[in-house]
Structure 1
Amino acid sequence: MVQAYILIQTEVGRASAVADVIAKMPGVVQADDVAGPYDVIVRAEAQSVDELGRLVVAQVQRVAGITRTLTCPVVHL
């Protein structure tokens, strides 16, 4: 199982709507709108890195109002 945080910047005023849409996607554990340099932080999980990449590129990045994403895979050291 691969887990990651997806940090999202949105257009002004779109954070809540973006978080609501993403929260309903399969593979998304949690999506919260936050204050700071990013507007939404998502916790996601997938069976593989490739599946995680497909979630981010084919689904998350296509949500209207997103301007930038940064995917941070969780590592267990």
Structure 2
Amino acid sequence: MVEAFVLIQTEVGRAEVIAKQLAGLTGVVSAEYVTGPYDVVVRVTANSLDELKSTVVPSVQQVAGITRTLTCPIADGARP
């Protein structure tokens, strides 16, 4: 399994609505709207890096109102 955080900037005032839309997508583990330089942080998972790049991240990027994304694959899979 491959996991990543996707940091998302949205159109003004759309963060909460977009986070709720993203939460229902395949591969999305969690979606939260936040404050700071990014508006939404999404944790995604896929079976492989190829699937992450070709399927999961593009489905996130296609949601209306998203203006920019930054995908950060998780390098350390350590769990508490």
Q: Report matched runs for 1:1-77 at 5 Å.
A: 1-53=1-53, 54-57=55-58, 59-76=59-76
Provide the aligned C-alpha RMSD in A.
1.1
% identical aligned pairs: 59
Cα distance in 2 for residues equivalent to 1:24 and 1:18 = 10
User: What's the TM-score once normalised by structure 2's chain length?
Assistant: 0.91
Unaligned ranges ≥5, structure 2: none
The 3-state SS of whatever aligns with 2:64 is coil
The 3-state SS of whatever aligns with 1:55 is helix
Unaligned ranges ≥5, structure 1: none
Corresponding pairs, count: 76
The offset of 1:76, in angstroms, is 2.0
